[in-house]
Amino acid sequence: MELLSHVAQEVQNQTGIRLHRRNVERVFSAILRTGDFWKIVDFSDLPVPAVAAIVKKLISENILFVDEEENILLTQKGYDLVRELGIKPAGNFLCVACEGRGYPFYADKEFYRTFIELAKDRPSAIRDYDQGSVTPETTVSRVLFMDVRGDLRGRDILVMGAEDDLTGLAVALTRKAKSVLILDIDKRLIDYDNKIFKELGIENAQAKVWDLRKPFPEDMLARFDVFVTDPPETFAAFKAFIGRGIATLKESGCAGYFGLTLRDSSIFRWKEFQQILLTDYGTVITDIIQNFNHYMNWEYHPQTKAAQIAPVKKNPTDIWYRSAWYRVETLPGFKRWNEPISDEVFYLDEEGSTT
């Protein structure tokens, strides 16, 4: 078997993460751009355990080595192999102004500045709920995106299970929505939002503690025009956050926004998520903007499986964890899923490692 397929097969057997030869090719391509392990994960679009195992395997084959500064580099054998296989680095032409999202976070400077000011004392991300906050630029861009798509002005909006990003606060701050309800399991975030709403006299927004593993009461169903969330990547969390979000939508033509990453789940799992969205829930995917969400590094990183299985001890120093921003729309006959979650695998499974 040729080398890329052999490595893909061996790492798949070892990690339980589905892989094909081009996943391994992509790791090589990433290494041609950077020696930083965490950026290699970012550019490879693969779960951390897969990249860690591929890199370790290639080190054991004398194709890669780690230098004194913990950079991952090609050996002469590695360079010869890359040349022989014709592997190239990908181009990098992302817009530096909008950071590649297509929505200029600086468009409304007053809004951007106010949000930064309000976010500066935010509670720090904690491991218990797999928190990891997106940058303020990401949060502001989410709101602009919603506005452009007609999902902000005059809308009843539910933001749930993702308030470490303060998206609900940002939506409320525009004062353009009809109402904003924020649900999160973390009381620190709920108190933070409600205090700001009180101080600023924002009366159409409220925040409440809620555990999304529990079904919603009847009065939450068919109540909102738009939901926003950012689940952990397990199937149980996908249903609890997104299935339940769809259940709260009023009618066909309503919209849901959420992030899905390839750092904690594979492209094979994305296919299964997309099948659930299309077939089980009866929605259509209108948008996927890859790497829209940029997550600030979290303090608990050294305690995670990701840190433990990495081929280097060096912690990430730059943004490496990013996720795609999905927008779905309900179609006639869409299904409202609102079952209890009994699955114990809620935050972490074989593809995830950053919790």
Q: Which is nearer to ligand SPD, 156 or 233 (CB)?
A: 233
Residue 248 interacts with ligand SPD (CB under 6 A)?
A: no
Residues 6+ apart with CB under 8 A from 172: 180, 182, 193, 197, 202, 204, 205
230 contributes a contact to ligand SPD by CB under 6 A: yes
Q: Report d(CA 220, CA 82) in Å as an integer.
A: 55
Determine the interface stretch with ligand SPD among 28-36, 111-119, 187-195, 228-236 (rule: CB under 6 A): 228-236
- Told to check if 161 binds ligand SPD by CB under 6 A, we report no
260 near ligand SPD (CB under 6 A):
yes
The stretch near ligand SPD (CB under 6 A) out of 21-29, 81-89, 229-237, 247-255 is: 229-237
Q: Is 354 a binder of ligand SPD (CB under 6 A)? A: yes
* C-alpha dist (Å) from residue 68 to 52, 71, 313, 315: 18, 7, 12, 15
For ligand SPD, the closer CB: 311 or 352: 352
Q: Which of residues 104-143 bind ligand SPD (CB under 6 A)?
A: 130, 132
Q: Does 338 bind ligand SPD (CB under 6 A)?
A: no
Instruction: List 326's β-bridge partners, or say none.
Output: 258, 288
Q: How far is CA 184 from CA 127, 190, 210, 266, 304, in A?
A: 15, 7, 5, 26, 23
DSSP code string of 266-308 = -HHHHHHHHHIIIIIS-EEEEEEEEEEEEBPPPTTGGGSHHHH
Phi first, then psi, for residue 18 (nearest 5°) are -70, 135
Using CB under 6 A as the binding rule, whether residue 261 contacts ligand SPD is answered as yes
Residue 231 interacts with ligand SPD (CB under 6 A)? yes
Where do contacts with ligand SPD occur on this chain (CB under 6 A)? 130, 132, 230-233, 259-261, 295, 298, 323, 354-355
